[in-house]
Amino acid sequence: MAEKVKVLLTEEEVDAKIQAIGEQISKDYEGKQVHLVCVLKGGSFFMCELAKRITVPVSIDFMSVSSYGSETKSSGVVKIVKDLDEPLLGKDVIVIEDIVDSGRTLSYLMEMLKDRKPASLRLCTLLDKPDRRVVDVNVDYLGFQIPDEFVVGYGLDYDQKYRNLPYIGIVEFE
Ligand code: IMP
Ligand code: MG
């Protein structure tokens, strides 16, 4: 199927927002070290840009989960495909995600990570589609609330394409 991508948030808008979140996190974690947990693959572009703008010491780790979904919907069944390399015990952890949609993936993930006894655990997501929420998720740092549209860019894909777009676009199917 052919598709087109229409700009929703420009590169400048996204960059400015990431700068602001980075400043906020730097303030909130003054005197501490933050441990960023990136949810692959979508969170990777956002995490790298954000990490560069945090002024307190930062460590990073990655995990990959799959939600057994179709291309545009997640099923709620979450499987860990790649686990973290490091324990979370006693760390100030911020989970970095690309988008919270139904909330199923994140609510499962946050519960699982809480069991690993971090000193603190927060969630930072670039995008939020509140209209689609099925399971409640507490977002501590948010980039943008967006309408119920399928978006790509800045790590988000459609059929593994468009992750490299430096802006957020809406996919229009023809
Ligand atoms: P949730 O469990 O429904 O919140 O789904 C979250 C995951 O679905 C995200 O981490 C994305 O990988 C994917 N997803 C949800 N909405 C979009 C979208 O608009 N574009 C690309 N991926 C999306
Ligand atoms: Mg994701």
Give the residue carrying structure tokens 């945090």. 54
Active-site pick, 28, 85, 92, 101: 101
Which two three-digit tokens encode residue 116? 């690993």
Span 3-22, mean pLDDT? 97
CB 171 within 8 A of CB 158: yes
**Model confidence at 70, in pLDDT bands (50, 70, 90)?**
low
Span 104-115, mean pLDDT? 93
Span 46-50, mean pLDDT? 98
Q: Which fold has domain 11-148?
A: Rossmann fold (3.40.50)
105 or 169: which leads in pLDDT: 169
Looking at residue 68, its amino acid is Y
Dihedral over Cα of 59, 18, 111, 44: its sign = negative
What is the pLDDT at residue 79? 85
**Model confidence at 31, in pLDDT bands (50, 70, 90)?**
very high
Give ligand 1 pocket residues (Cβ under 6 A).
42, 67, 74, 97-106, 150-152, 156
Give the residue carrying structure tokens 């969170």. 43
Q: Where are the domains of the chain?
A: 11-148
